[in-house]
Amino acid sequence: MKFFTNCQQHKRPGASFGPGGKGGCVCVIDIFNIYKKICLQKLARSLIFASMSKKLPIHTEGNPEPQHLEIEEHDTVEIVVHRLLTLEIFRGCRPEEIVVFEEDSEIELGLDYPIGKHRHKHFHGHRCRRIAVTVSFNGEANTNSYPPSARLRTVIDWAKSVYNIAPEQQCALREGPSSEPLDLDAHVGSFAAHDACSVKFYLAIIKGPQG
Residue by residue, DSSP assigns 84-105 as HTTSGGGTT--GGG-EEEETT-
Query: What does the mean pLDDT of the chain come to?
Result: 83
Work out the end-to-end distance of the chain between its first and last CA atoms, rounded to an integer number of angstroms.
Answer: 59
pLDDT(104) > 60: yes
- Sign of the four-CA dihedral 84, 86, 89, 94: positive
Degrees, nearest 5: CA angle 59-168-163: 80
| More confident site: 11 or 69 | 69
Q: What is the number of other CB atoms lying within 10 angstroms of the CB of residue 99?
A: 19
pLDDT(123) > 70: yes
pLDDT(25) > 60: no
CA distance 162 to 167: 11
Radius of gyration over alpha carbons of the chain, in Å?
28
| Least-confidence region, from 2-16, 32-46, 128-142, 143-157 | 2-16
pLDDT(37) > 50: yes
pLDDT(58) > 90: yes
pLDDT(9) > 70: no
pLDDT(43) > 70: no
Summarize pLDDT for 155-189 with one digit per residue, the tens.
Answer: 999 999 999 999 999 999 999 998 999 999 999 99
Write down the pLDDT at residue 207: 77
| More confident site: 201 or 13 | 201
Question: What band does 52 get if pLDDT is binned at 50, 70 and 90?
Answer: very low
Assess contact for 112 and 100: CB atoms under 8 A. no
Average pLDDT value for residue range 21-49: 57
Write down the pLDDT at residue 51: 47
Assess contact for 198 and 177: CB atoms under 8 A. no
Q: Are strands 2-4 and 25-27 parallel, antiparallel or unpaired?
A: parallel
Write down the pLDDT at residue 27: 58
Backbone angles phi and psi of 7, in degrees to 5: -65, -40
Write down the pLDDT at residue 62: 84
To the nearest whole percent, how much of the chain has pLDDT over 90? 63
Average pLDDT value for residue range 137-144: 97
